[in-house]
Amino acid sequence: MGEVFRQYWIPAIRSDELPAPDCAPLRLKLLGEDLIAYRTTSGDVGIMQNSCPHRGASMFFGRNEEEGLRCVYHGWKFDVAGNCVDMPSEPAESNFRTKVHAKAYPTQERGFIIWAYMGPREVPPPLPDMEANIMTTDARQISIIMRKCNWMQGVEGELDTVHAAFLHGGAVRYQDQEPGSLSYYHYKERDNARFIAKDTDFGTAYGAYRPAEADTTYWRIGYAFFPFYAMQAGRSHGPRRQDERLRPHG
């Protein structure tokens, strides 16, 4: 699956983890690779291999200065594309630095997230135009969570709208929830969810429906995007009103 993931942009780090130009580098691991991220003097972000191509010294200890990251061992300096732009140990007339390249990945910054493309294309695909990625103008909540499970188990959990009412809210009483809200129907009808799924060009659209009032049905709809993104229904809708959440039977 690693080769599949490399066909897509991957959310790598939060923007605030590299808070300012020429700030300290950051360690990260993506798809099993140990990498270093840094923000240049002009504000661009580079993500490159951890070890210097020269003698393998960690670039985490490198000096972030003047549009590049300089290895502290011998001073070789690399730009965000992985090109060696300075090699102090070579004479001025030498072009040996042009033959040295560090593995580096293209990055883009949007929605308070720094994305990395680790695939084989010379021209990366566009960033995913998910709603949160194109409409967010302020950071509501961006979390980094370690899940000790296979990636598929994580995707299954995101798609599963039944387990939350039992696992995460097994002790919650629907009588204590606001009538007409997501939580009200979610907990009142724990045992009565039915699923419908539909393949789409981007992944899957799915819905779980439960009985609501005498003549209506409550739907909770979500989406799964390739390769591992999910967009779920909101946690609270407030008081019930005649809208898309409640549909007449049939």
Question: In percent, how much of the chain has pLDDT > 90?
Answer: 49
Q: How confident is the model at residue 213 (pLDDT cuts 50, 70, 90)?
A: confident
CATH superfamily entry for domain 2-134: Rieske [2Fe-2S] iron-sulphur domain (2.102.10.10)
Q: Alpha-carbon distance 134 to 128, whole Å?
A: 9
For position 5, what pLDDT does the model report?
Answer: 93
For position 138, what pLDDT does the model report?
Answer: 66
Answer for the pair 118, 10: CB distance below 8 angstroms, yes or no.
Answer: yes
pLDDT digits (tens, 9 = 90+) for 121-149: 999 999 988 777 776 666 567 888 888 88
Q: How confident is the model at residue 221 (pLDDT cuts 50, 70, 90)?
A: confident
Q: How many CB atoms lie within 10 A of CB 126?
A: 7
Q: Alpha-carbon distance 98 to 113, whole Å?
A: 32
Burial class (CB in 10 A: 0-12, 13-18, 19+), 24: middle
Answer for the pair 89, 74: CB distance below 8 angstroms, yes or no.
Answer: yes
pLDDT digits (tens, 9 = 90+) for 150-209: 888 888 888 888 888 888 888 899 999 988 888 888 889 888 889 899 999 888 899 889
pLDDT digits (tens, 9 = 90+) for 39-62: 999 999 999 999 999 999 999 999
Find which of 22-36, 120-134, 152-166, 214-228 is predicted with most confidence, using mean pLDDT.
22-36
Indicate the domain borders of the chain: 2-134, 151-248
For position 146, what pLDDT does the model report?
Answer: 86
pTM: 0.82
For position 66, what pLDDT does the model report?
Answer: 95
Please say if the pLDDT value at position 239 is more than 60: no
Question: Which tokens sit at 71?
Answer: 């290895």
